[in-house]
Amino acid sequence: MPVDSSFVIDLEATTAALHELRRTRRHNRLSEVHWIDALYRVYMVGLATVIFVMFASSQLPTNRLSVTEAADFANQAPMWLGLAFAVAVGVGLRSGGRGGPLVLEAPVVMHELSAPVPRSEVVRGPAIKQLRFLAFSGAVVGAIIGELAARRLPVNPVASIVCTAVAFALAGVLASATAMAVSGRRVRWWPANGLALVIVLWSAIDVVTKHQTSPMTLLADIAFWPITFRILAVVPVVLVLGIVVLALSRIGDLSIEHALRRAGLVAQLRFAVTLQDVRTVVLLRRQLSQENPRLRPWIRIGRAKRRSFIPPVWKRDWQSYLRFPLPRLARMVLMAAAGGLAIGAVWRGTIPAILIAGFALYIVAYDAAEPTAQEVDHPTRWESYPDAPGAFLLQHLAAAFAIMVLMGVVAGAAATVLVPFTVVWQIGLILIIPVSLAAAVAATISTAMGAPDVAGLSGLGPDMMGWVMLARLVIPPIIVVIALLPMLNAGSDPGALNTTKVGNATVYALFAVGAAILYLRTRKPKHL
């Protein structure tokens, strides 16, 4: 049967039209950005980076390690860095199992993927762009870490910066490429999560046994080439290149339904981030990761007796915790362990790690403040409560504080990896109560603030409005950091801990927590 040539689609012409359309869109988008605005953004990012590097450099110990100590460090540190890389790859695998990591715009999904154009041509461009961006971001982070490490290690600073930048760039590319490979082949979430667990456990076994067998550990060893060169580290480089080719070969077979869903959620997420609506950001992120509460609680709480002395708020809070899904519980434990490791690094002389510890515990506390967030999500019900709104907020602190005490125990257990147990329990007994309370209060404040009143803040002027918006984001985690600061007075000698000085400094941290509690007490429903 003869074929009508009028119905034959010229794929080369449609592909060329697609590329021309994208060039035009990119030109129009760039033409709307004034060069002054672009220069200002670069200036602010560069200034923040320089300030961070200078602050971190000033807080690091000034004494250099000897050649023997540097060699011992190069034999132990790759396992820990490899574990961090394994976690990043595991996150990528979980994202790929849910349809990630690419976030296409809704018009691209609706029109370009449905057009008579090969899907690989539509998706390959954004995929390469994401890989390139992650390689650049990883190289920048690695270069900063390499520069800071060169101040203590007897190595060439240029070699340290280059090798660390290469290692982090390859790790970023690998995390994204594995996600693309899983998404392009439409692997279900449970095989993807199983593979992520295997990779993380393999690197964790390397940490425990102090051997270098995991590909992530070998990849991390590139950062330590200026100290000890191992040729086996070339193997993961070939692995990364192979996974990138594997990912791009089938990237066009991704699920359109997942892509459209992610496009809508990410668009809302970006809008919420612009408005600094933290609660909406959290809810959208959970929808993006398909993190839903359990239909059945882990443990069912029976009905309380009529004359029970247990407050209803306490029971309702624990009913919320018992419906937490397993990924959320695992994230809380991992973040608490990360905070404990950062605290151990602080005690061993890496003072800037206290910011990492405070932020990690703050993230854990944000999940612990979920019952308060549930109240905030229904502001119209507040008028029916007999108590004042601020007093009702404070009633939720008890359960969040109890959860943070448990997470504090997890953090203390993780800190014993870097700190002697005698040091952990002596300092932990002093700090676990104020730090847990500070984290619970800080997360509750961030949750209760809700979205900022842009109309009210606009009267302050653009400069003051920017500082107020920044303070809304920074002050809650800073409260947790303030509660951790007394540990700096303990000293570095395990046999001569100054616990008295730590206890005295804790009083000042309690003042900050008390001020935060008073702020919560004055919260009004219209501000929630």
- Identity of residue 326: L
pLDDT (tens digit, 9 = 90+) per residue, 295-311?
Answer: 888 888 766 555 556 67
- How confident is residue 13, by pLDDT bands cut at 50, 70 and 90? low
Largest CA distance in the chain: 95
Bigger pLDDT: 146 or 388? Answer: 146
* pLDDT on residue 295: 84
Backbone angles phi, psi at 478, to 5 degrees: -65, -30
**Confidence check: pLDDT of 35 > 80:** no
* pLDDT on residue 411: 92
Average pLDDT over all residues of the chain: 80
* pLDDT on residue 3: 47
The three-state secondary structure class of 500 is helix
pLDDT (tens digit, 9 = 90+) per residue, 397-409?
Answer: 889 999 999 999 9
Most confident of 50-64, 332-346, 448-462: 332-346
* pLDDT on residue 527: 45
Q: In what helix (H) or strand (E) does residue 337 lie, and over which residues does it extend?
A: helix 326-347
* pLDDT on residue 528: 45
**Confidence check: pLDDT of 382 > 70:** no
DSSP assignment string, 243-259: HHHHHHHSGGG--HHHH
Predicted TM-score of the model (pTM): 0.75
* pLDDT on residue 472: 73
pLDDT (tens digit, 9 = 90+) per residue, 223-241?
Answer: 988 888 888 888 888 989 9
Query: Stretch 252-268: mean pLDDT, rounded?
Result: 76
**Confidence check: pLDDT of 171 > 90:** yes
Upstream peptide bond of 352 is cis (omega within 30 degrees of 0): no
Query: Stretch 329-350: mean pLDDT, rounded?
Result: 88
**Contact by Cβ (8 Å): 411, 343:** yes
Measure the CA–CA gap between 77 and 207, rounded to whole angstroms: 9
Backbone angles phi, psi at 294, to 5 degrees: -70, 140
203-217, 308-322, 378-392, 407-421: segment of lowest average pLDDT: 378-392
- According to DSSP, residue 492 is labeled S
pLDDT exceeding 70 applies to what percent of the chain? 80
The contacts of residue 131 (CB under 8 Å, 6+ apart) are: 173, 176, 177, 244
**Confidence check: pLDDT of 43 > 70:** no
Query: Stretch 430-446: mean pLDDT, rounded?
Result: 90
The contacts of residue 326 (CB under 8 Å, 6+ apart) are: none
Query: Stretch 87-95: mean pLDDT, rounded?
Result: 88
Q: Which of 343, 483, 362 shows the shortest CA–CA distance to 417?
A: 343
* pLDDT on residue 21: 73
* pLDDT on residue 1: 45
Bigger pLDDT: 12 or 106? Answer: 106
Query: Stretch 425-440: mean pLDDT, rounded?
Result: 90
- According to DSSP, residue 307 is labeled T
- How confident is residue 5, by pLDDT bands cut at 50, 70 and 90? very low
The three-state secondary structure class of 202 is helix
* pLDDT on residue 274: 64
Query: Stretch 483-496: mean pLDDT, rounded?
Result: 82
* pLDDT on residue 167: 93
**Confidence check: pLDDT of 62 > 80:** no
Most confident of 131-140, 144-153, 267-276: 131-140
* pLDDT on residue 52: 66
Most confident of 201-210, 277-286, 379-388, 403-412: 403-412
| Total length of the chain | 528
